[in-house]
Amino acid sequence: MTTTSAGAPFGSIKDVDELIRAIAAQHCTPGWVPRQNPLMWPSAKSTFQPAHWRFSDIRPALVAAGRVIGTDLAERRNFVLRNPIARNDFATTNTLVGAYQSILPGERARSHRHSSHALRIILEARGSYSIVNGRRHPMETGDIVLTPGGCWHGHGHEGVEQAYWFDCLDLPLVHLLEPMTAQDHPEHWEADVTDAPDSPMRIPQATVIQRLTDAAEGDDFFGRTVDFSSPEMRTITIKAHQWKSGWRNRPYRQHANQIFVVLGGAGTTTVDDARFDWNFGDVFVAPLASRVTHHVQDDAMLVALSDEGLMKYCGFHQLEAA
């Protein structure tokens, strides 16, 4: 006869409450009981909030960080954009994390590698560079720099002014799925580095602008758009948008978490009930299933980083007018 770990036979159980207590001893829980957090709900929603970070507010903090902390203590001198929901330590959306980062002239950040995919959108830089798996390429204003998971990568700065960029990683997703590995380079920096200005790990600003200029007007939801996603980084979708002054989108909801990085222009985006007036360098978040509307005041270029490709692969993605 089947028994609980305490030895009581299930055959002697007389009511459902007793059954629930007994099955709990087997580390089981009934699927039919009500829960504070239900197992399913009727429509998609996110626990993360719309959020907005102004580069004009964070940039002085990065300047201060350059004065008070060196690369001996913080090789990646960055500020992580933590979504303001409760019990969240670092994530910007449920699957992605963003950060503003800076490096001073003459500094080098040692090479390391990790499971999570990463990229950088360069806000202000002249003379900085990135090394990915032994190939060195420039890291200039407006560039998009890719670092697929598992690649050694480091960077440095040979210019004369402090450089700034935005990082994005799928770190929250890696934490959830648990395949995390991370190592510092055994020699600190990669040896036998080869200059590769045309590295596939770099999308130059000129390429981004030219492809947007050549692109069609786009649909009512997203406007003129070019997809720069890499097959080596399938968890992060990278799309550049070019919107003319006065453009308004058709409001939408989609099953994807989005982080927008403003590379030029100005406008207003409303995410559910939150209104964000954005300018150059700003970052704002539209969580999964939120209602998104854009209104452009000055000709604008933005990059949207999302988990759209992942949602499509899983069969979860939906897009609808809102």
| Pairwise CA distance, residues 187 & 166, whole Å | 27
Conformation bin of residue 283: beta by default, left when phi > 0, alpha when psi is -120 to 50: beta
Q: Is residue 254 part of a domain?
A: yes
Which residues fall within 8 angstroms of residue 21, CB to CB, at 6 or more apart?
none
Q: Which residue, among 251, 284, 278, has the nearest Cα to 265 in the 3D structure? A: 278
Q: Is residue 46 part of a domain?
A: no
Distances 62 to 78, 160, 261, 280 between C-alpha atoms, Å: 8, 16, 17, 16
- Report pLDDT digits (tens) over 216-247: 999 999 999 999 999 999 999 999 999 999 99
Measuring CA to CA, which residue among 302, 214, 299 is closest to residue 258? 302
State the Cα–Cα distance between residues 220 and 3, nearest whole angstrom.
62
Q: Tell whether 8 and 74 lie within a shared domain.
A: no
Nearest to 212 by CA among 242, 246, 233: 242
Would you say residue 25 lies in a domain?
Answer: yes
Say whether both 126 and 221 belong to one domain. no
Residues 183, 263 share a domain: no
126, 62: one domain = yes
Whether 178 maps to a domain, the answer reads yes
How far, in Å, CA of 283 to CA of 81, rounded? Answer: 9
Q: In the prediction, which pLDDT does 1 show?
A: 45
Residue 285 shares a structural domain with residue 173: no
Domain-embedded: residue 7: yes
The Cα 241–Cα 98 span in angstroms is 19
User: How confident is the model at residue 227, as a pLDDT?
Assistant: 98
Mark the ranges of the chain whose per-residue pLDDT is less than 50.
1-5
Tell me which amino acid residue 274 is: A
Q: Token pair for residue 41?
A: 């709900």
Q: Are residues 159 and 88 in the same domain?
A: yes
Residue 27 resides in a domain: yes
Q: Which of 207, 236, 252 is the last residue of a domain?
A: 207
Instruction: Say whether both 154 and 231 belong to one domain.
Output: no
The CA distance from 97 to 22, in Å, is 42
Q: Which of 167, 186, 207 delimits the end of a domain?
A: 207
Q: Is residue 45 part of a domain?
A: no
Written as six digits, the tokens of 127 are 């003379």
Provide the pLDDT for residue 7.
Answer: 53
Residues 63-82 pLDDT 10s: 999 999 877 666 788 999 99
Residue 12 DSSP one-character state: G
* Residues 202 and 56 occupy one common structural domain: yes
Total structural domains within the chain: 3
Supply the CATH number for residue 317's domain.
Answer: 2.60.120.10
pLDDT given at position 8: 56
45 near 63, Cβ under 8 Å?
no
Q: Domain span at residue 175?
A: 51-207
Backbone φ and ψ for 49, nearest 5 degrees, come out as -100, 155
Does 274 lie in the same domain as 303? Answer: yes
Collapsing DSSP states into helix, strand and coil, what is residue 319? strand
Domain annotation covers residue 159: yes
Are 109 and 228 contained in the same domain?
no
One domain, residues 153 and 232: no
> What letter represents residue 76's amino acid?
R
